[in-house]
C-alpha cells in the first residue's frame, strides 16, 4: 500500500461521536448571540437543520438557500459523497440568522454562503469548519474528543428518532440509501429496538 492510499484512520481510535443535547444547543446559540457572531450563528443553525456533512455544508451557495430575497423554508442539495439529492427544512430561527449573515456580508446569489476570509472567491474549508465547531464545544466546557463536526449532522436526526422512533423518516432526512445505514448511524441499542417492538400491539 502506497503512502497516497494509506487509510486516513490508520492507527487512530475512531468511534461514533456524541450528538448534542438540547441544553448544549441553546447554550451555544445564546453565547453566539451575546457575541453577535453572525457567521457562526448562521453556520451553527444551518448545520443543525440541514444535517449535511461538513463537505456539503461549507460549499453551500446563497442561491441554495435563498430565492427572491427570502431564505427558503426548504432547500435541496446534492450530496458529494453519494451524488444523491437530499432535502432539508430551514426553521424560522435559522432563516433569520442566515438572512442576517447574508445582509451583513452583502452576499449575492452566486456567493458561497460561508466565504473564506483568506482566499477570495472560495468557501471556508472543512478544517476551518472543524476549528469553528470545536470552539463552540469549548465554550460549553465539553470534552472536545467526544464530539466532531459529524455531531452536527447527527444531532437533529438523533433527536427526531428519539421523539418518533421512525427510522424511515430519519433515513429520508439523512439521504441514506439503506435503512441499515441509518440504524448503524444512529447507534440504536437493543433496548431501543425492543421498545419499538413492544409498542406494536398485534
How many degrees, rounded to 5, is the angle at CA 151 between CA 126 and CA 184?
115
Check residue 158 and give its pLDDT: 83
Give residues with Cβ within 8 angstroms of 170, minimum separation 6. Answer: 157, 160, 161, 182, 186
What integer is the mean pLDDT of 145-165? 86
Check residue 12 and give its pLDDT: 42
Check residue 82 and give its pLDDT: 81
Cell of 148: 466532531
pTM of the model: 0.80
Confidence category of residue 11, pLDDT binned at 50, 70, 90: very low
What is the Cβ-side half-sphere exposure of residue 11, based on CA atoms within 13 angstroms? Answer: 1
Check residue 136 and give its pLDDT: 96
**Do 126 and 149 touch, CB atoms closer than 8 A?**
yes
Residue 36 clears pLDDT 90, i.e. is over it:
yes
Q: Which residue has the cell 476551518?
A: 128
Amino acid at each position: 500500500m502506497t503512502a497516497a492510499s494509506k487509510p486516513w484512520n490508520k492507527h487512530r481510535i475512531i468511534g461514533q461521536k456524541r450528538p448534542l443535547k438540547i441544553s448544549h444547543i441553546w447554550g451555544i446559540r445564546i453565547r453566539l448571540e451575546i457575541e453577535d457572531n453572525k457567521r457562526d450563528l448562521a453556520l451553527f443553525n444551518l448545520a443543525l437543520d440541514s444535517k449535511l456533512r461538513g463537505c456539503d455544508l461549507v460549499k453551500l451557495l446563497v442561491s441554495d438557500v435563498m430565492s427572491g430575497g427570502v431564505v427558503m423554508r426548504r432547500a435541496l442539495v446534492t450530496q458529494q459523497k453519494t451524488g444523491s439529492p437530499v432535502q432539508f427544512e430551514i426553521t424560522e430561527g435559522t432563516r433569520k440568522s442566515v438572512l442576517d449573515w447574508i445582509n451583513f456580508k452583502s452576499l449575492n446569489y452566486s456567493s458561497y454562503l460561508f466565504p473564506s476570509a483568506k482566499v477570495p472567491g472560495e468557501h471556508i474549508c472543512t478544517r476551518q469548519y472543524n476549528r469553528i465547531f470545536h470552539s463552540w464545544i469549548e465554550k460549553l466546557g465539553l470534552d472536545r474528543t467526544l464530539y466532531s463536526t459529524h455531531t452536527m449532522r447527527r444531532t437533529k436526526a438523533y433527536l427526531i428518532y428519539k421523539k418518533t422512533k421512525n427510522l424511515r423518516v430519519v433515513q429520508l432526512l439523512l439521504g441514506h440509501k439503506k435503512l441499515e445505514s441509518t440504524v448503524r448511524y444512529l447507534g440504536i441499542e437493543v433496548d431501543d429496538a425492543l421498545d419499538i417492538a413492544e409498542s406494536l400491539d398485534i
